[in-house]
Amino acid sequence: MFRRLAACLALAGALTAPALAADLRIGLPDATTSLDPLFYVAGSNTQVALHLYDPLVRQDAHQLLMPALATAWRAVDDTTWEFTLRPGVRFHSGAAFGPEDVIASVRHVEGITNSPSSLRPYVAGVAAMEVVSPTVLRIRTNGPRPLLANDLSRISIIPRAQQDTPAAAFEGKQVDGTGPFALAEWARGASVKLVRNEAYWAGAPAWEHVELRSMGDGGARVAALLAGDIDVIAQVPSEAQAAVLGNARVHMVSAAGNRLIYLHIDSDRTETPFARDAAGKPLANNPLKDPRVRRALSLAIDRKALVERVMDGQGTPAGQFVPPGFAGYDAALAAPAMDVAAARALLTEAGYPNGFNLTIHGPNDRYPNDAKLLQAIAQFFTRAGVRTAVDVQPGASFFTRASRLEYSMIMGGAAIETGELTGILNPLLATYDADKGLGTGNRGRWSNPRFDALLAEAYRTFDEPARTALLQQASRIAAEDTGVIPVLFLQNTWGLRRGLDYAGRGDGYTLADQVRAAP
């Protein structure tokens, strides 16, 4: 990797970047797997959807709520909300936007049955929807739902005619949003090409054409930026940041990220496929069901070393599910310090004085340094007595198989999609219930009734300090029982050619309409 990166940088140093143009080329580290914006909770798909579609309520760079297709919203009572819709908005096809499109979008989410990670949690509170007028939609919830606007910030609005359209059919003219750009071309796994929406309700964006190019190799992304083949790249590899900062033709911006890198653990099944004895035979009892074993593995990890050595300082050790500055952060939940002796003692107490064999799985193209992180974590586990191997795969196949529960332990990443703590606690840790939209990303099937009760109570609580206290209690339960192992929060970075500027976002999204000419 380092030799290839050095060669790419040397080649790029001899080339120059083009002058400012009406076209913008963005290099992204992952591929778009679906253009149905409501099919799958995946950051790579969401950031493309935000170019093509609008939600009722959107999030700014710090994930605070802002008007979008709704200009205002209010709670009429504990179970009734009214949204005032923006008049005069049209889809790219020319069809007028109205409340029926919002209803169809919610129904579309409810009708999807094969999503690897469903958006159902974000519409689970909706009991009924009523058109009051062409610009007013009333939503009734199945109980108090103080965070409904946050949840609906995740729901892109599609035309009412597409309510029952299969996800696979969202190609070409079927991709019909109200967003700042319209679809020009999608080369699956390679690029998404966009054209400016001249009639966009918030004003036409600066760029006439945008190409979102999928470039999984970080070194290739940097080389393309320095060569002038790409104008903006996301996730500057940590080992290349000095080269970017030292080049006068480009510059780098960064923002504290909300994405948690974590380990999901099979804490449910009696037997688990990738935990074996010293002879390589399957264990009759799944050791990961024991919270002492899970706690031991968490204590085995040197999070500080991962941040400093693997991530080159681009991250923060994690002991909970949101970083500082987000609602629900608990200063008392510090990242655990590595303690190999305590880890070995817990393994012995749990009946594994000689440890066991484990294989952990993860992607090799989804997060910065993901394969390196897995290798380092495996070494920490092995040092504590759990002899650990690593199996990494392309993200597109890995996440599908992980959702089928094929593994014993996986590394994943979860962002705070709604800007507050329920947006990560529900999908990641709530007891799995697809019909209720609970725990849809809970690939370890951890379950704790007290946690579920606190989460449910928080969802009903309008008083913000009281709700925060409930969510902090739930976080403590999950941390103490090690429902998942928080590892670190990512730092978001972007490289841009001189003359361009980007404010950076906590959610890590790269949005073309927010890339501007530098003042």
Percent of the chain with pLDDT over 70: 96
Beta bridge partners, 496, equal 232, 251
Q: How far is it, in rounded angstroms, from Cα 171 to Cα 165?
A: 11
Residues in the chain: 519
What is the rounded average pLDDT for all residues in the chain? 91
At residue 240, the pLDDT reads 87
Angle at 494 between CA 222 and CA 65, to 5 degrees: 155
Lowest mean per-residue pLDDT among 40-49, 296-305, 495-504: 40-49
pLDDT tier for residue 21 given thresholds of 50, 70 and 90: low
pLDDT tier for residue 382 given thresholds of 50, 70 and 90: very high
Read off the pLDDT of residues 83-127 as tens digits, 9 standing for 90 and up. 999 999 999 999 999 999 999 999 999 999 888 888 998 998 899
Read off the pLDDT of residues 384-426 as tens digits, 9 standing for 90 and up. 999 999 999 998 889 989 999 999 999 999 888 888 888 899 9
Read off the pLDDT of residues 420-468 as tens digits, 9 standing for 90 and up. 888 899 999 999 998 888 998 999 999 999 999 999 999 899 998 999 9
User: Dihedral angle at the C-alpha atoms of 310, 311, 316, 321, nearest 10 degrees?
Assistant: -80
Percent of the chain with pLDDT over 90: 75
Domain residue ranges of the chain, discontinuous segments joined by +: 257-489
- The answer on pLDDT for 19 being more than 70 is no
Q: CATH 3.10.105.10: does it fit domain 257-489?
A: yes
Residue 485 parent element (H or E): strand 484-497
CB 301 within 8 A of CB 485: yes
At residue 256, the pLDDT reads 83
Range 361-365 average pLDDT: 93
More confident residue, 257 or 86: 86
Beta bridge partners, 253, equal 494
Residue 382 has phi, psi (to 5 degrees) of -65, -40
Does residue 265 sit in helix, strand or coil?
strand
At residue 80, the pLDDT reads 97
Range 17-23 average pLDDT: 57
Lowest mean per-residue pLDDT among 2-16, 55-69, 102-116, 382-396: 2-16
Kindly state the tokens that stand for 491.
């730092």
Q: How far is it, in rounded angstroms, from Cα 326 to Cα 163?
A: 34
b/e map 85-109, b = 16+ CB within 10 Å: bbeebebbeeeebbbbbbbbbbebb
Closest among 387, 306, 380, 300 to 346, alpha carbons compared? 300
Residue 250 has phi, psi (to 5 degrees) of -135, 170
Q: Give the E-state strand segments of 78-144 in sequence order.
A: 80-85, 126-133, 136-141
Using the structure block, give the residue that is written with the tokens 């107490």. 349
Closest among 249, 273, 245 to 493, alpha carbons compared? 245
At residue 418, the pLDDT reads 83
Beta bridge partners, 357, equal 276, 387
- The answer on pLDDT for 312 being more than 60 is yes
Beta bridge partners, 275, equal 358
Does residue 28 sit in helix, strand or coil?
strand
Lowest mean per-residue pLDDT among 9-18, 203-212, 228-237, 304-313: 9-18
The dihedral sign for the CA sequence 23, 33, 64, 492:
negative
Range 373-386 average pLDDT: 98
At residue 42, the pLDDT reads 83
Kindly state the tokens that stand for 268.
């449910």
